[in-house]
Amino acid sequence: MEIIITKNYEEMSKRAASIVFSQVALNRKSVLGLPTGSTPLGLYKYLIEAHKKGYIDFSEVKTFNLDEYFRLDRSDPQSYYYFMMENLVNHINIDTKNVDIPNCMLKDIEKECEDYEERIKAAGGIDLQIIGIGNNGHIGFNEPGEVFSKKTHLVDLKQDTIEANARFFSSIEEVPTQAVTMGIQTIMQSKRLLLIASGLAKAEAIYKIVKGEI
- What is the DSSP secondary structure assignment for residue 78, as one 8-state letter? T
CB of 49 to ligand PGA, least distance (A): 20
Task: Tell me how far CA of residue 51 lies from CA of 35, 55, 114, in angstroms.
Answer: 19, 6, 33
Active site residue 68: no
Active site residue 165: no
CB of 179 to ligand PGA, least distance (A): 11
Please name the helix (run of DSSP H) or strand (run of DSSP E) that holds residue 67, with its range, or none.
strand 67-69
Per annotation, catalytic residue among 65, 98, 127, 138: 138
Q: Which residue, 144 or 212, has its beta carbon nearer to ligand PGA?
A: 144
Burial class (CB in 10 A: 0-12, 13-18, 19+), 42: buried
CB of 134 to ligand PGA, least distance (A): 4
CB of 194 to ligand PGA, least distance (A): 13
Contact 99, 164 (CB under 8 A): no
Per annotation, catalytic residue among 67, 100, 117, 146: 67
Instruction: List phi, psi (to 5°) of 212.
Output: -85, -170
Active site residue 143: yes
Q: Which residue, 61 or 130, has its beta carbon nearer to ligand PGA?
A: 130
Q: Which residue, 132 or 176, has its beta carbon nearer to ligand PGA?
A: 132
Per annotation, catalytic residue among 11, 49, 103, 136: 136
* Edge-to-edge strand list for the sheet holding 99-100: 99-100, 62-65, 31-34, 128-131, 192-195
Cβ neighbours of 204 (radius 10 Å): 13
Q: Which residue, 37 or 125, has its beta carbon nearer to ligand PGA?
A: 37
CB of 44 to ligand PGA, least distance (A): 12
Q: Which residue is nearest to ligand PGA (CB)?
A: 37
Q: Which residue, 123 or 162, has its beta carbon nearer to ligand PGA?
A: 162
For the CA atoms of 201, 205, 207, 208, the dihedral, rounded to the nearest 10 degrees, stands at: 160
Active site residue 95: no
- CA 79, 196, 34, 159 dihedral sign is negative
Question: Footprint of ligand PGA on this chain (CB under 6 A)?
Answer: 37-39, 132-134, 138
Residues annotated as part of the active site: 67, 136, 138, 143
